[in-house]
Amino acid sequence: MKVCGYLIRYDELGLKGKNRLFFEKKLISNIKEKLKETPITIDHLWGRILVRCEESTEVRSRLLKIFGISSLSPIVEVESRLSSIQEEALALVPNRSSTFRVTTRRVDKKFPLTSRAVNIEVANFVLPERPLLKIDLDDPELELGIEIREEKTFLFLEKESGLGGLPVGTGGKVLTLLSGGIDSPVAAWMMMKRGCPVEYIHFYSYPYTGEQSKEKVLDLVRTLSCYQNKSFLHIVPFGEIQEALQRHCNERYRTLLYRRMMQRIATEVAYRRRGMALVTGESIGQVASQTVENISAVSTATDMLILRPLIGFNKNETISLSQKIGTYEISIRPFEDCCTLFQPQAPATKARLLDLLQEEEKVAYKELVQGALSHIETLSI
Ligand code: ATP
Ligand code: MG
């Protein structure tokens, strides 16, 4: 099949009324950015985007990772004339034993035949030459799509689903607290899917966690970067804070006190980067620190909005999504995360805010936050 491009559909964007053009422009610029090393041209057609290029699995797989694209079809282009459409249809459709239908969409209403008439004319032309095919209008195994536009008509046999969602950049920027675990990369991805550009912040406890755990987080960000244009990762040394909390505070509250410190530091970084919200991979009841009581007591450490896109997910749902995203294999690499170190024997499951505040008074937490902020390393990926 001599493919001359990919026809891109974007259902959800079409619903955005007056903002539609803004969403479409963002989607087009995201496509251009992702394919900037490939010779392509882009046509914005009514309700569709056409990326003209040669057939390429690389182009296709990049397109399938761009949020906002609901489906795509590799297409062949012909003149909008019935005889040309019929001949190209015959060239495209294989003679194999399967059920078949033709589905025409006539965008150019000046075309002399109705969509239904084109279906019939094309099927009548193709079927005598392809005797193994059997018509099934309800649920065919093979479907020839035809889109008739003013000058050109597109034909295609395949329609592959994209990720849907909204183009990254149409929403406000967020900062994801990225551990080396399974959940937080999925949470970041869910935010990108709603159009929010994501930056990342990772806390590591050198010398307790080594270079390998940093490398793991870098690999996670690299994988997630396929879904947006450019990523920033802020790496924060957390060892000193952990040591202080470990030495002076009640062990039962340790994990929660770590989280509150992380949120304070992340909030400051988000302000500096013009981020509008923090994102975590928490879900209710998953581990001792993630009861409603604990999440509530922890989140008073910041005034900033904290988004938790996985809040109602089961672990299995998160795992299967992380496999689809491509982060799972990286997340399960066995390196220590800073919070698995110094884990309390009997963590509090229903911490009271008052108790956390009292524990925090035992360390110079504001100075510790400032200290960590002055040692942040920012990488662009
Ligand atoms: P994950 O799989 O994302 O680590 P989890 O279910 O293991 O999640 P926790 O380890 O308790 O849960 O962490 C809860 C959330 O806190 C994480 O999803 C992440 O957003 C944030 N977090 C935990 N540890 C770190 C870290 N070292 N750096 C940055 N964020 C972290
Ligand atoms: Mg974790």
202 φ, ψ (degrees, to nearest 5): -125, 135
Domain stops at, among 95, 127, 161 = 161
Q: Give the whole-angstrom CA distance, residue 255 versus residue 239.
A: 13
Q: Is 338 in the pocket of ligand 1 (CB under 6 A)?
A: yes
Kindly state whether residues 148 and 182 are assigned to the same domain.
no
Kindly state whether residues 153 and 187 are assigned to the same domain.
no
Q: According to the model, what pLDDT value does residue 345 have? A: 81
Kindly state whether residues 92 and 137 are assigned to the same domain.
yes
Kindly state whether residues 340 and 372 are assigned to the same domain.
yes
Residue 279 lies in a domain: yes
Q: Are 67 and 195 in contact (CB under 8 A)?
A: yes
Q: Is 179 in the pocket of ligand 1 (CB under 6 A)?
A: yes
Q: According to the model, what pLDDT value does residue 339 have? A: 61
Top mutation candidate among 174, 178, 179, 318 for ligand 1, by most atoms within 8 Å of CB: 179
Which one of the ligands is nearest to 280 CA? 1
Q: Are 172 and 277 in contact (CB under 8 A)?
A: yes
The domain containing residue 338 runs over which residues?
174-380
Q: Which atom of ligand 1 is nearest to the CA of 337?
A: 27
Instruction: Name residue 45's beta-bridge partners.
Output: 48
Kindly state whether residues 348 and 235 are assigned to the same domain.
yes
Domain stops at, among 131, 161, 191 = 161
Residue 169 lies in a domain: no
Q: Are 259 and 242 in contact (CB under 8 A)?
A: no
pTM of the model: 0.94
Q: Are 59 and 40 in contact (CB under 8 A)?
A: yes
Which one of the ligands is nearest to 286 CA? 1
Distance in Å, CA 179 to ligand 2 centroid: 6
pLDDT, block means (10 residues), the chain with 381 residues: 85 71 94 94 91 91 97 96 97 97 94 97 98 96 96 95 96 97 98 98 85 90 96 96 95 95 98 98 87 95 98 97 98 76 82 95 96 97 94
Number of domains within the chain: 2
Kindly state whether residues 208 and 129 are assigned to the same domain.
no
Q: According to the model, what pLDDT value does residue 154 have? A: 96
Q: According to the model, what pLDDT value does residue 16 have? A: 63
Q: Is 205 in the pocket of ligand 1 (CB under 6 A)?
A: no
Encode burial over 204-231: b for 16+ CB neighbours within 10 A, e otherwise: bbeebbeeebbebbbbbbebbbebbeeb
Domain stops at, among 161, 187, 207 = 161
Residue 167 lies in a domain: no
Which one of the ligands is nearest to 337 CA? 1
Kindly state whether residues 142 and 181 are assigned to the same domain.
no
